Chain A
Amino acid sequence: MAEVTLQGLGKVYRGGTRAVEAVDLHVADGEFIVVVGPSGCGKSTLLRMIAGLETITEGTLLIDGRAVNRLEPAERDIAMVFQNYALYPHMTVFNNMAYGLRNRGERRRVIDSKVHDAAEVLGLSELLQRKPSQLSGGQRQRVAMGRAIVREPKVFLFDEPLSNLDAKLRVQMRLEIKRLQRRIGTTSIYVTHDQVEAMTLADRLVAMRGGKVEQIGAPMELYETPASQFVAGFIGTPPMNMLPARVSGGGAYFGEIRLTDCQQAEGSSVTVGIRPEHMTVEPHDRTPMLGRAELIERLGAETLVHVSLSHPGASVEVVVRCPETQAPEEGSAVSLNLRAKRMVVFDPDGRRVSEVAEAGSAEEPGAAEPGAA
C-alpha cells in the first residue's frame, strides 16, 4: 500500500536523446494507473524508471513520501510483471515465485505459505512443481503475477503484460488482473499500447506521446473530452472522426455547413472531432451533410458505416456507429446527422479549445442538425 509521486520526472540518455520529459503525477494509495501511448512514446522508460531499471536523470520519485531515486530495484519494494514474463526457465513455478522471498531471507515456512496462498488465488496450486516450459502462455502470465504478489510490494508495475497472449486469453487475463487488483488493492502502474486494456483497467489514464504527458484523467474523461487531437485519435476504436473546418462568424464550418460554435480567430482552420456513436446515418437529403456509404462493417452488436463526405474544398472519410437496422446499403448516398453537443474543437496545434462544445447552444445546433429529435 503506497502512494507514488512523480515530480518532474525526466530521462535523457547519455547521447542526449530525451526519452521522458517532466512527468508530474500523483498516484493515490490503491489506485490503478494505466500509462498508454504508441510505441516509442516513453511509457516503458517511465515505468522502468519507477522500477529502478533505468536511472532517473531529472526530477524526483517518491514512494510513500520517500525519495527513492538512488535505491536499487529490490530496495524500492516494487514488483514488476514483464511482457515476456521473464520467468527463470530452470526453476519450478514454486521456486520462481519463492526466489525473491528467499533473497530477502524470509523463513522457509513463511515462503511456503505465501507461495501457496498466491498460487491458490491464481489457480496455480496444481502447477507448482512444473517448469515454465511446461506451461501455457496464460499460465506463465499467472506465474509472473504470482511472483509479483508473493512479495506483497508497495507498488505493482506492469509492462505490457498481456501483449504476448492471444486475443481471447488477453480479455480473460485483463479481467483477472482487474479482479486481483481490486481484491488486494495494491497501487498499480500499468503500461500498455492497447487502448481497450487502458480504458477497462484504469482508475486514471495517463496518455503519453513523444516522452510527454498529453493528458491525465479518468478513462471516460479522456474519451469524452480529450485534451488533444492525439488523445482523441488514440482512445477509442474506431477513433474519433476529425473534420477539417474553418472559423467564420463565431462558428466552425465544414465546407458550407456550420458544425458548431467556435470562438477562434476569424478565418483560422480548426479541426472538429466527433465520436462515431454521436452521428447517425439518415436517408439522403435529410441533412446538408451529404456523403456516400463506402463500406459497411457488421460487428454484430453494432455496425460501422464508413462514409466519405465530399464537399467543395474538403473530402474526408468518417466512421459512423449505428445499430444494424439503421445501416444503409453499401454504396448508397446518405446524409449525416451530427450531435453538436458532443463535438470537440481542436485548434491548429491540435489542442482542444476549452469547453466550446458545451458553450455552444445545444438547442440551436446549427445547420448540421436540422433533422434531429
Chain B
Amino acid sequence: MAQPQVLARPKVTTMAAKRRQEALTGYMFMAPALVIFLVFLIIPIGAAVYLSFTDWNGITPVFDEGAYQQVGLDNYRDLLLGEHTEDDGRVVKATTRQRDFFISLKNTTYYVLGVVPTQTLLALILAVIVNQRWLKAKGFFRTAFYFPSITSSVVISIIFMWMFTRGGLINTTIGAVFSGYDSGSFVNWLDDPRGVIHIILEQFGVTRANVGDWASNRSLGLTTWEWLSGPSVTMLTIMILNTWTTIGTMMVIFLAALQNIPSSVYEAAAIDGANAWRIFRQITVPLLRPTTFFVVTLGLIGCFQVFDQIYVISSGGPAKTTLTVAYMVYQNGFNRSAMGLAAATAIILFVIIFAFTLLQRLFVSERANV
C-alpha cells in the first residue's frame, strides 16, 4: 500500500511502514484478548456500577421498556444507613437489608481477621523449617503441604462437612483421646450459631444479662454485644477449612523467596556473631517483606470473597452467622430478585477489598522504611 513512497524516499518510509506494520501486528495479536476482556470484563464492570443505581429485579429482560427505575443512591442508602432523617424531615427506618449487610460484613471481617494472619504465620513458620539445611525430604513436605491447593473448593467443602458432622471423624477422634468428650457433649460444628467470643466469655461467667447496659447499644443495625460475638462455631469450621487449604500455596511462595536469599547474607551475619533469632528477625523477615505483602494481599482478596464454601456447607446459616458479603450478593441477585441491590453490595465489597489492599501497602512500605 505504501509502495510508491517507498520508492521515492526509501529509508525513512521503510521505517515508518515498518513501525505501522508492527503496530498493526500488535493489535492483531492483542485482538482476541481485547475483545473478550472488553465484552466480559470491562463492560461488566461499568454495567455493575450502572445497575447499582437501579432497582432492576433480574427477571424482566434488562433492555425492556420500564424494566427498571433509576433509584439514585437508594440501594447504597438501604445497605449502609440506619434510621435517619431525610432533608424534608421524614424519618426513614432502617431496613432488614441494612441489618443483613452489617451482619454479613461482621461475619466476613471476623473471617478475614481469623484466617489471613493465621495462614500467613503458619505458612511462614513451615517454610522456614522446610528451608533448614538439616531437613531431609524437602520435596515430600512441599508436596504434602501443597496437595490440598489443587483440590476444588467444592470437594474440600464436602470432605470437611463429612469430617465435622456431629458423630463424624473429628468429634469421635477427639472423643477417643479425651474421655469426657462424648456424644452428649459433642460440638455441633456445622450447626451452631453461638459466637466463639461469647462462648469464651460465658466460661468466665460473662453473659449478655450481666455485662451491663452498654452491650445493648445499637450501632449499624447490631447491638454492641452482637458485634462482639466473634465468628460462630460454624464459621470457625469454615475458617479452619480455608486456612487448611491455603497454607500450602503460601508456604511454597515463602519457600521460594527464602531460597532466593543468598546464603552469603546469612554467613556474614553469623560471622558478625548474630544468633539464629536475630538473623530471623533482622534479616529474614525484612527481606521477606515484599513476599509477605503479596501473600497477605492474596489472602485478603480471597477471604473477602469467600463464597464456594458457604454455598456448599451452610448457605449462610445457622441464623445468618455464615452469611458473607459475597454470598449476600448472590442471594440478593439470584434468589431474591434484587439485582440492583446485589450490584450495589458487590461494588461496596470491591471498595472494601481495594481499600484494605491500599492500607496494607501503606503499612508495609512504611515499615520497610524504618
State yes or no: do A and B come from one complex: no
